[in-house]
Structures are given as structure tokens and as C-alpha cells.
Amino acid sequence: MTDKDLRKYSKIVVDGMEQAPSRAMLRAVGFEDGDFAKPQIGIASTWSMVTPCNMHINKLAEDVNKGTDDAGGKGIIYNVITISDGISMGTEGMKYSLVSREVIADSVETVSGCMGHDAIIAIGGCDKNMPGLLMGMARLNRPALFIYGGTIQPGPNHTNIISVFEAVGEHAAGKVSAIELKQIEDTAIPGPGSCGGMYTANTMASAIEALGMSLPNSSAQDAISQEKVADCLNAGEAIMRLLEHDIKPSDIMTRSAFENAIKVTIALGGSTNAVLHLLAMAHTMGVALELDDFTRIGKQIPMLADLKPSGKYLMSELINIGGIQPLMKMMLEAGMLDGSCLTVTGKSLAENLATVAPYPKGQDIIRSFDNPIKKDSHLVVLRGNLAPTGAVAKITGKEGLSFSGNARVFESEEECLKGILDGTVVKRDVLVIRYEGPKGAPGMREMLSPTSAIMGKGLGEDVALITDGRFSGGSHGFVVGHVTPEAFEGGPIAIVKTGDKIFIDAESNTVTLDVSDAEIAARLAKWQQPAPRYTRGVLAKYAASVTSASEGAVTDKNL
């Protein structure tokens, strides 16, 4: 490591006689004389006991701190908030979920910006805190890297959190007894770590690694493992190299790197939330990325991973065969990835992948290019008179490529869930859940409870769902979210009536309301915007500043 002064920001805080008060306060938190000459590394921890995804991250933060100190830096751990989608799902509290992404980004920017940290290492373990951490680091644009908290082990009989949600629907259908439901509830979440399928947490961890902002394999390690400890310890040396060579997020998070992340997300069959978050991350970094880029890229990339929710396997099983590194090497060798992109190792993606071994023979978790699950992307951007500025569907092909039926309109997620469980919803219904968008909810809730109830009731092939809200990475079936413009802003979804015919076509990429243009215009002319649901506090501030889901639902674009 170099002898040059790597302190660009912290020296302003601690050097000179006039900064004696700053040094005095830092001595109280453990600084000694020699520490003031070291670069200060902010370690943003999302530790919290509100969710198993993050309950172990305090120990990981301590490991990062040790690795940082051993490498010649001075680590400073601080916390940012996190919430649990899984716990708040289907309740009013879920409206805070996407909002938390912005709060987390604000927190990282605020703490490390205020305290003069020279570099940042962030540790995340749940859906929204990962993109939030990346956005905060991108805003400051100081040497930085991300560490994934790791995935959870499966429960008995291959169960996980989605098993519990779907068991609720199975119980309503009389397929699962109250005792069986209780047993699944008691055992499906055995300990720390993020939800076990290719849901949003594992999707975003994989996308961030493909983006180049994590050390190799960080996305594919169990939460409680020696590999995860090593990942944390190794981060110290990595961040010091980034400091020495002045490699910043803007050097790594380029347009080509975002395209790599999108391609890996598609190959893995990742969550629709990746569209929302990658758009937001790109905006924060000043990289031009649009909804239609997912369509263009999606034509070139097959879906290869047989992972839950629509597939068979869990992330822990992908870890056992090597994680996503062999997949990326396959894709690189096939000309699908840009190997020249810089990563937090200080090397290019191609250099990182040069010594990666292929998957073991006989495994069927990751398919070959000549035997894909779907020949192109499962993330389908739809447009039409029901979504003029776009909607996002998750179509693996297993649920078919088109659906038509009669609209059954609900003004909230809770109303829809009740209708599914009490038998109001029947085959060939297209469920329309509206006023759940970024502004209307506010907060764009995930519709995991309704989609899981649909699957549990055995209606997965017979019912479609459309919403201006979004979906959990655990949702599957014929689902279309992110409908824009949202209902609260007078999008056509606001004037759909129960009984209207709706057509969804994932081959022509359209979502169409079978109503004449004149009738749509007449209905819209009569529509009146409802009063905001919140007029004070964080939800009101979010609703006042958030952009459309088609733009990533960011809060600083129109400032």
C-alpha cells in the first residue's frame, strides 16, 4: 500500500489546531493519535432486529471494521434504517417500503458527507436497503463498495417465506389445515439472511455484483458462513486499493456496467423490482437508462436459471454450485457481457472471471444457452391504451404468453385480497388494483399477499392481475405492475370498470383495454383526482416529490 496521504475529506475534519474539538470527540469513540492520519472509512450497516434479513449484520460490520483497520484505514460503523417487506406486506405499513430506499440513500449521503469519510463500505441484506445504499454512495461519489448480507437457509421441505404466503391461500381453499399452516409458519424461516429464492434481495445482490460494485461472489454466500466473513474481511484491502487508485462509483457504474447488470438479472429470472431500482440507481449516477432499454436488451438475453418463485431451486442451492460467477463467465464467453467494465477489485470484469471454473456437470439449476427456460427476457415492458407510458410484467412463459378476461376492479390491495380469499374472484378475471402507485398509495406497495393467495387458491393459470403498484420478487403468475401513468395522476387505469375486457400480450408487448378511445376520453373527462391520503410526514413528502415508476420512482429528479 502506498505511503501517500489518502485522506481527501477526513483531513478537513481532523487536521490542524483549530480541529482539536473534532479530534477530542473522536477520541471518545476510540480514536488514538495515529488514527487521525489514516483515511476514514464509513461502514454503513443496516443491522436491525426488525427482520431476519438484517439481524446478523452487526457482526458483519465488525468484521468489515477489522478488515479495514488491518488494511491501514480507520473504520467507523454507523447505522441506517431498514424495514421488512415480508412483515409489513399487505398492510398500510408496506407503503413505507419503497420510501425507505430514499431515506437510506439520504442517510448514507448525510452521515458520510457530514463526517468527511474518505470512502464507504455499505452492508445490506434486504430489498430496498441495497439500492438505497448504492444510491447514497453514488451521490457522494467517493471510493465505495457494497457487501451483501447473504441468503437464508431453507426451512424443512424446501420452504421459505413465499411458502407461508401461499399456504394462506391454500388454507382458504381448504387444501391446508390450520395445523399445517402453523407448522409452515413455525419452520419456514430458520435464521438470519435474505429471502431464499431469486426474489428482490438476491436479485439486487446479483445485479450489484454484475454492476461491479461488490467483490466477486458477494451475492452468492450464505448469511452465516465463513465465506461471508472472508468477504467482509477482504473488503478492507479492497477499499484501500480503491482509495489508492482513486476509483470511484462513477468509474464503475457506467452505462455498460448497468447493461451487464440488466443482462445478468434477466438470465437469473430476477425480480421486476430490479427495473425500478436500476433505473433509480442509474439516475443517481447520471447514467442515461430508460424503460425501453430493458426491452431492447431483453431480446438478446435468455432466462437460464430455474430458481424460485417460478422455478424449482433456492439461492442456497445455486451457491453450492458456484453462485453467479460461472454464469457471468458463460455470458462473457458468449459475447453477452462487456468484460472491459471496471470493478471494485480494481480489475476488469473479464480479469475477475478469467480463473472462474464452470458449473459442475449434471447440474440443472442454470440451463445452457441451447436449452433456456425462456429464449428471451421474462421482464416484459408493456404499452397500450391501459399503460401509455409503460408497465412491467414478469412472464416466464410457464403461465402462458397472453391472457384475456374481464376486469374486476379493486381500489386497494386489501379489497382485492378479501375478494380472492372469499371466492369473489373467479376464473378469467383480470384483477385491477389501483391507487397503489408511488403517489397514490403513496409508496407503491408490493402485491405479494394477493398474488400468493391466487397461487394458493389454485388460480395461478386462470387469473391475471394488473396494478399501478408493484410486485414482490416472490410473486409469480400472470402479473403486470408499474402501470403508468398511475391512477392518482389520471392514468387510464383510473377509469377501468368491472366487466371491461382486458387483453395482455407478452409477444406484442401490449396491455389493452377493450374500450373505444372516445369512451376512454369521456370517462377521463369525468374523473376527479382524489385527495392525498397523507398530508404530513414522510409519506406526504414522498408523494409530493416522487416521479413515475417508469422513471424509477426517484425523489430528486424535478428539483
Contact between residue 269 and residue 373 where contact means Cβ atoms under 8 Å apart: yes
- Separation of alpha carbons 440 and 52, rounded Å: 30
Phi, psi of 151 (to 5 degrees): -95, 160
Placement of cell 437508462 in the chain: 289
- Separation of alpha carbons 483 and 412, rounded Å: 15
Please, is 545 exposed, middle or buried when counting C-beta atoms within 10 Å of its C-beta (0-12, 13-18, 19+)? middle
Give catalytic status of residue 508 as yes or no. Answer: no
Catalytic residue, chosen from 310, 316, 472, 550, is: 472
- Separation of alpha carbons 171 and 167, rounded Å: 6
Phi-psi region of 537 (alpha: psi -120 to 50; beta: other; left: phi over 0): left
**Cα three-residue angle 545-46-213, rounded to 5 degrees:** 80
Pairing of strands 74-79, 119-124: unpaired
- Hey, what's the cell of 460? 395461478
Cα distances (angstroms) measured from residue 327 to each of 113, 152, 264, 305, 548:
37, 21, 8, 9, 33
Starting at the earlier edge strand, list the strands of the sheet with 74-79: 74-79, 40-45, 119-124, 144-148
Contact between residue 472 and residue 85 where contact means Cβ atoms under 8 Å apart: yes
* Tally of CB atoms within 10 A around 294: 23
Q: Roughly what angle, to the nearest 10 degrees, separates helices 273-285 and 96-115?
A: 30
Pairing of strands 402-410, 429-433: parallel
Could you tell me the sign of the dihedral formed by the alpha carbons of 270, 272, 275, 276, in that order? Answer: negative
User: Which of helix, strand or coil describes residue 409?
Assistant: strand
User: Which of helix, strand or coil describes residue 363?
Assistant: coil
* Tally of CB atoms within 10 A around 360: 10
Phi-psi region of 397 (alpha: psi -120 to 50; beta: other; left: phi over 0): left
- Hey, what's the cell of 496? 377501468
User: For residue 365, how far is the Cα from the chain centroid?
Assistant: 22
Contact between residue 29 and residue 35 where contact means Cβ atoms under 8 Å apart: no
Residue 264 amino acid letter = V
Give the chain's end-to-end CA distance (angstroms, integer): 42
Phi, psi of 355 (to 5 degrees): -105, 10
Placement of cell 369512451 in the chain: 519
**HEC assignment per residue over 305-317:** ECECCCCCECHHH
User: For residue 517, how far is the Cα from the chain centroid?
Assistant: 36
| Active site amino acids | 472
